[in-house]
Chain A
């Protein structure tokens, strides 16, 4: 029985990978033009829901065995990359925290996938929706089940991308695409924090494993604080706490089920999970915990005030969500992590239902909700602030999105005016010499190649053709020696590692 438990837990990677497989198959069908018409829909929907159900069943089985024999804990499944000082591995964390949240997410994910199959029937973006949803389910399970920060970060990014894709689901509406971009750019601020923390962890703790991170007491408090602050920024951004709240209020443009699972029930809690996961680290730095309490409390006040004035159901609900997530941050700041975890689970369960039933609001409610307290009711200034949501989205637009956009515009300008011209375009070449009209070049490389060929011709003509023992042979021998040295250097692990890291950074 014990071996069964061991083996089952080693299959946990399937939980995030199954939805990915469904995504790959559906993506391939779309690319090959096989996903057209009514007949193609059931396969996409069934694959997605089968993958989600597979994940749920696996999680339940692991849960059952964990109940009987205790949680499997940290599992290292394989080596990813690394060097002597640090290592990144494929590892999964199967402690009660991850198991509970992973199971809950798998259940909600499965239900929402099934819900969407009917809801999105015959939509133009049917397959696109399931691709993004599957991608998200994989990503969030990576976040929740990963045994190390790096793998969690990969999941974190997958969630961000799928969120971007689904906010922009109705891509023909400028509002939807604008908001998708807004959410994406704002979330990058959180990613910067996450990356910073990961880098520091690699440098100071020698790895990204959650288990290693709990050894943080070995490093100085100053270092610990910096590390934690990185993660806290990531958590605040993903869970839409101040000052990042604006993105979530503009994220409600997608289909109802995607709003429900992303912003109502699952993704919005990812930040809370991250902090719960880092609890051992957090308790080392009481001042950061105070900061959490403050951020949570401010967000709660903000969300409560804004929630009072909302006139559409989804916005009203989203402020309710942000409010309660803020309370979870407060609870974590106060050290009540169990309370926060329980609150998280129950809240997710309630909100997924409430969000999916948002279209029923008319038949569910009968009357206007009770008025706010009298001191608030007549305050025109506070009312305006609440209606404008403290101008947070305008501020974020001005401070984050517009600079990013102008940066990209500048980059594009640079490319158009300098790089493109320097590189040249095929078919736009001009003859270099009047006497050789067939040699046509454009751009710097073209000119370089032309002059290179000129000089090569020159060399060939002047040196090589003049026989053995010329200057050319000597030069070539020396160059060969240099190249061998470079090759030898490159084969040494530290330089190889550097090249791999460079590639990795580029990919990220």
Chain B
């Protein structure tokens, strides 16, 4: 940012705000929840550097805590081999250098990783000493005495460190919270939160700030100037100050920033820090600033928000400083103040040192508390500081001894060895173990954890290589979404009907479109978020059913209006409210009783009643464009031209490698999820359809492929689909495992017998799949029959009390791009995205796989990375537990009624997730893949920066090579022995944890 110093401040501010888009959460209003990389703004950096940068900036954890990894080690989910290989992978230098006699660096680091790096804390050490456990531990005693002879390291000057951080690593609020234990942010948030929510509100409040049309700053100021809360909060002059502020927020900002920080070069960093302190609200504000069209017309400018934040920070920090030192003083003078009072500072900071003995902590806390209420003598600070200094040193010494004895214990050394090594040897050991910083340790553990699963997958793929069969004359071909959840469905379908072929593809099936269903008021984009559709497809009543449709629309409208009236009026209407609440009382109690006792039945019955009331309308799709108007994202054209239709169908079929041997029935399966009482509903839907149901895409594709004109066009392009083939569409509900079939009335009678068989097989597969899902759900029956399992899923989906209607993409870990033969007959535990691609039909440059990687790569990486970050630090990257969530302004959730806006995934979704990067295995040669990555910047970023791990499986030999950005393609060699079972159910029965791959003998014909 140094090059910008000469720009006018307005432009610099604009650049800073632009930069904020990289660090703040970019979650859209929750109705349109779509998975994306939580650290999208850091994606231009290599994965590890990005994690480090994010950690520096937000303080968030970026790996699982080491304790979790060590648990995995104990369960055998990470082995010593994995850890050792991970050290190589991470590029740790001089692994074979000898540290002390007989031990090289690798041994020491491995022991250090397994010993952990926790501090013991004075309380624990003292307790262990008292209880005699530590006194008996001669290793600890030896370590402690050996270390005592080492010189203690001098800490940096506390006062210096205090000044240095502000602006660069923290705000005044952070500093003040550290020295006086009072967090200004709590107050800032309480003051701002109602105004922020009111300004951004998309449909909860009836009454809005009259001044909102003039922007947030003006609206806030109009209210704050009339607000008596300042006086009640004992901030008497604030209201006057607010009343006399300049009208332009920029002027206010430029007045306030120098008061906080005289040094102009720190402003950018300060604003960034400040926005990151309330990441949810800042992020939503910025998102609305950047996407004005998605709002409700109220002007939203990030500058307004920053101005108010800076102003409040200054006002409240000044007030706190005044109370802290006892006289009015600018916050910027605080470091100098404390530099003159080192004892006071030491005590104030020690009050947060968790490792100190409790009595000292108590004394420090009570002195700080006293200083808040009145004056404390210099002598009191000094006296306490004197007794704190040796205690602080003692904590350090104990900590070092603790770590050392854990390390030595892990290395298998005995007290005698300690004496033999002597102080210098021990110091070398400690140095070596400490040379791996906290983030690197996390990185090594992550690499080891990823490697363990990767090895299992590679050996599964290798073991499965000789089992490939090309099926001749399949009875049906089923195309599903690439979604990891559909891996299970496909596997069960193949087990039940070995003569069925399955395919996987991004769930919009190559038909990006705006869709407007019969009941929809507006259109919605059904395609990956990065694609902008240019065509509008509408569902229209079938010819002759227009009257029915009109009746349905009217009745539906009436029903929804009444529902809306009930829920809205009972909360705000003076007269209608009590009347409607009284009317609704008895039915509501009855409904609640039914929904609690028999949720599945109740939801089903309600659906049936609704349908009876509104009536069923046969519909058709308006696929073909009338004219040839230009199609743009702003002005989507209704329908495609004939050529476009042929083009889309041909491209899709080529992409999944389905170009000949068409079965009599080809089924396109979209998917969606139906759950109740769930604000994060769309996070469970199809990620390739912008977080919506993918059924319409399937239906549109099938309808296109059945059109005789399209078939003729396809034949012209070498794709011969005979009259003996019919395309069907359906939608799979991943929550209740039900299937909704589309347009069955249009199936020619000749296909009816085959269709009957197929519908039965698909139903059976879904039930078997439901049984498999039950194993990971604590409230599901143990070892259920398929029917029981399906009933359970129905109940679960309809249950308003269920915080985990399904587990979504949890545990997703890999993606296979290749022919189904490479993975057919493998049990992959619903962890793998399966994308069909036939390398033999691709051209030499691999243009088809290039397209697949470009479309599926970001979708898969977005899902995997969002799950990754939400599970490693659910407090900061995720949105915490659902149980206290409170929908706010129709755009997000808060915890309770006064908190930051929470973004990311709720804890209930990621609870069983195993955070690792997506491993993408492509059935293609390394040369082709290298060339593709070379020429596609988007892939360069994902693959070259290691946000995903790519491996190539040679289409002929089956040899696997993994790509490492540092070392290139690394050949894999490992054993290819896998357990073999007859059916999936034999492998997963009774198991409730993640399962390793196995060979399913019944899965391959």
Query: Which chain A residues have a beta carbon within 8 Å of chain B's beta carbons?
Result: 38, 41, 107-108, 111, 114-123, 169-170, 173-176, 179, 249-250, 252-257, 300, 304, 307-317, 319-320, 323-324, 327, 342-343, 345-354, 356-372, 376-381, 383-384, 386-388, 391, 394-395, 398, 409, 416
| Any A CB within 8 A of the CB of B889 | yes
> A312–B568 contact, CB under 8 A?
no
> A327–B578 contact, CB under 8 A?
yes
Binds A, one of B205-213, B631-639, B660-668: B205-213
Question: Could you show 7 A-B contacts with beta carbons less than 8 Å apart?
Answer: A309-B205, A309-B207, A311-B888, A320-B570, A356-B801, A369-B572, A387-B194
Task: Please provide the chain B residues from 801 to 859 with a CB less than 8 Å away from any CB of chain A in the complex.
Answer: 801-804
> A311–B564 contact, CB under 8 A?
no
Complex: A253 Cα to B895 Cα, angstroms: 7
Contact of B581 among A350, A377, A381 (CB under 8 A): A350
Query: In the complex, which residues of chain B have a beta carbon less than 8 angstroms from the beta carbon of A249?
Result: 897
> A354–B570 contact, CB under 8 A?
yes
Contact of B589 among A107, A319, A361 (CB under 8 A): A107
Query: In the complex, which residues of chain A have a beta carbon less than 8 angstroms from the beta carbon of B202?
Result: 368
| Any A CB within 8 A of the CB of B574 | yes
Query: In the complex, which residues of chain B have a beta carbon less than 8 angstroms from the beta carbon of A122?
Result: 778, 908, 911
Complex: A354 Cα to B570 Cα, angstroms: 9
Chain A interface mostly: helix
Measured CB to CB, the nearest residue on chain B to A260 is B592
Contact of A394 among B207, B222, B229, B897 (CB under 8 A): B229
Complex: A307 Cα to B207 Cα, angstroms: 9
Contact of A350 among B207, B588, B882 (CB under 8 A): B588
Measured CB to CB, the nearest residue on chain A to B680 is A359
> B207–A386 contact, CB under 8 A?
yes
CB distance from B899 to the nearest CB of A (A): 6
| Any A CB within 8 A of the CB of B886 | yes
> A118–B803 contact, CB under 8 A?
yes
Query: In the complex, which residues of chain B have a beta carbon less than 8 angstroms from the beta carbon of A394?
Result: 229, 232-233
| Any A CB within 8 A of the CB of B82 | no
| Any A CB within 8 A of the CB of B532 | no
> A312–B897 contact, CB under 8 A?
yes
Query: In the complex, which residues of chain A have a beta carbon less than 8 angstroms from the beta carbon of B207?
Result: 308-309, 371-372, 376-377, 383, 386
CB distance from B520 to the nearest CB of A (A): 12
Contact of B31 among A108, A117, A119, A362 (CB under 8 A): A362
Query: In the complex, which residues of chain B have a beta carbon less than 8 angstroms from the beta carbon of A368?
Result: 202-206, 296
Binds A, one of B41-49, B502-510, B671-679: B671-679
> B799–A118 contact, CB under 8 A?
yes
Task: Please provide the chain B residues from 169 to 219 with a CB less than 8 Å away from any CB of chain A in the complex.
Answer: 183, 186, 190, 194-195, 197-198, 201-211
The 3 A-B residue pairs with the shortest CB-CB distance in the complex, in nearest-first order: A346-B585, A320-B571, A349-B585
Query: In the complex, which residues of chain B have a beta carbon less than 8 angstroms from the beta carbon of A398?
Result: 232
> B572–A175 contact, CB under 8 A?
no
Measured CB to CB, the nearest residue on chain A to B568 is A369
CB distance from A100 to the nearest CB of B (A): 13
> B206–A370 contact, CB under 8 A?
yes
CB distance from B73 to the nearest CB of A (A): 21
Q: A314-B886, A342-B582 are in contact. List 7 more A-B contacts (CB 8 A).
A: A313-B204, A315-B886, A346-B585, A380-B223, A384-B222, A388-B229, A394-B229
> B563–A358 contact, CB under 8 A?
no
Query: In the complex, which residues of chain B have a beta carbon less than 8 angstroms from the beta carbon of A117?
Result: 801
CB distance from B992 to the nearest CB of A (A): 9
> B206–A121 contact, CB under 8 A?
no
> B195–A324 contact, CB under 8 A?
no
CB distance from A295 to the nearest CB of B (A): 17
> B585–A350 contact, CB under 8 A?
yes
Task: Please provide the chain B residues from 780 to 815 with a CB less than 8 Å away from any CB of chain A in the complex.
Answer: 799-804
CB distance from B133 to the nearest CB of A (A): 21
Complex: A318 Cα to B779 Cα, angstroms: 32
Task: Please provide the chain B residues from 548 to 587 with a CB less than 8 Å away from any CB of chain A in the complex.
Answer: 560, 563-564, 567-568, 570-572, 574, 577-578, 581-586
| Any A CB within 8 A of the CB of B681 | yes
Complex: A343 Cα to B582 Cα, angstroms: 6
> B568–A347 contact, CB under 8 A?
no
CB distance from B990 to the nearest CB of A (A): 15
Interface bin, chain B: 35 or more
Query: In the complex, which residues of chain B have a beta carbon less than 8 angstroms from the beta carbon of A320?
Result: 570-572, 577
Query: In the complex, which residues of chain A have a beta carbon less than 8 angstroms from the beta carbon of B895?
Result: 170, 173, 253
Query: In the complex, which residues of chain A have a beta carbon less than 8 angstroms from the beta carbon of B205?
Result: 308-311, 316, 368-369
> A114–B31 contact, CB under 8 A?
no
CB distance from A104 to the nearest CB of B (A): 8
| Residues A362 and B800 in contact in the complex (CB < 8 Å), given A311-B201, A353-B591, A387-B198 | no
CB distance from A182 to the nearest CB of B (A): 12
Query: In the complex, which residues of chain A have a beta carbon less than 8 angstroms from the beta carbon of B677?
Result: 356-357, 359-360
CB distance from A98 to the nearest CB of B (A): 19
Query: In the complex, which residues of chain A have a beta carbon less than 8 angstroms from the beta carbon of B194?
Result: 311, 387-388
CB distance from A193 to the nearest CB of B (A): 25
> A312–B204 contact, CB under 8 A?
yes
Measured CB to CB, the nearest residue on chain A to B896 is A253
Complex: A290 Cα to B407 Cα, angstroms: 78
CB distance from B348 to the nearest CB of A (A): 19
Measured CB to CB, the nearest residue on chain B to A256 is B883
Complex: A386 Cα to B198 Cα, angstroms: 12
Query: In the complex, which residues of chain B have a beta carbon less than 8 angstroms from the beta carbon of A170?
Result: 884, 895-896
Complex: A238 Cα to B567 Cα, angstroms: 25
| Any A CB within 8 A of the CB of B926 | no
> B226–A384 contact, CB under 8 A?
yes
| Any A CB within 8 A of the CB of B379 | no
Complex: A386 Cα to B578 Cα, angstroms: 21
> A121–B186 contact, CB under 8 A?
no
> A312–B197 contact, CB under 8 A?
yes
Complex: A308 Cα to B573 Cα, angstroms: 9
> B884–A380 contact, CB under 8 A?
no
Contact of B572 among A252, A307, A386 (CB under 8 A): A307
Query: In the complex, which residues of chain A have a beta carbon less than 8 angstroms from the beta carbon of B206?
Result: 308-309, 368-372
| Residues A356 and B592 in contact in the complex (CB < 8 Å), given A170-B895, A252-B897 | yes
Measured CB to CB, the nearest residue on chain A to B881 is A123
Contact of A120 among B521, B883, B890 (CB under 8 A): B883
> B897–A352 contact, CB under 8 A?
no
> B896–A176 contact, CB under 8 A?
yes
Complex: A114 Cα to B594 Cα, angstroms: 12
Measured CB to CB, the nearest residue on chain A to B207 is A308
> B884–A352 contact, CB under 8 A?
no
Complex: A340 Cα to B564 Cα, angstroms: 26
> A115–B596 contact, CB under 8 A?
yes
> A346–B586 contact, CB under 8 A?
yes
Residue in B198, B206, B228 whose Cβ sees the most chain A Cβ within 10 Å: B206
| Any A CB within 8 A of the CB of B622 | no
Query: In the complex, which residues of chain B have a beta carbon less than 8 angstroms from the beta carbon of A376?
Result: 207
> A361–B887 contact, CB under 8 A?
yes
| Residues A347 and B581 in contact in the complex (CB < 8 Å), given A312-B197, A377-B207, A391-B229 | yes
Query: In the complex, which residues of chain A have a beta carbon less than 8 angstroms from the beta carbon of B526?
Result: none
Task: Please provide the chain B residues from 211 to 251 with a CB less than 8 Å away from any CB of chain A in the complex.
Answer: 211, 222-223, 226-229, 232-233
CB distance from A506 to the nearest CB of B (A): 28
| Residues A169 and B884 in contact in the complex (CB < 8 Å), given A347-B585, A365-B568 | yes
B 884-914 to A, binary, CB cutoff 8 A, 1 in contact else 0 = 1111111000111111000000001001000
| Residues A324 and B581 in contact in the complex (CB < 8 Å), given A119-B803, A170-B884, A312-B887 | yes
CB distance from B778 to the nearest CB of A (A): 5
Complex: A252 Cα to B883 Cα, angstroms: 12
> B886–A313 contact, CB under 8 A?
yes
Complex: A313 Cα to B202 Cα, angstroms: 12
> B896–A175 contact, CB under 8 A?
yes
| Any A CB within 8 A of the CB of B30 | yes
> A362–B911 contact, CB under 8 A?
no
Residue in B799, B804, B881, B887 whose Cβ sees the most chain A Cβ within 10 Å: B887
> A311–B679 contact, CB under 8 A?
no
Query: In the complex, which residues of chain B have a beta carbon less than 8 angstroms from the beta carbon of A351?
Result: 581
Query: In the complex, which residues of chain B have a beta carbon less than 8 angstroms from the beta carbon of A383?
Result: 207, 209-210, 223
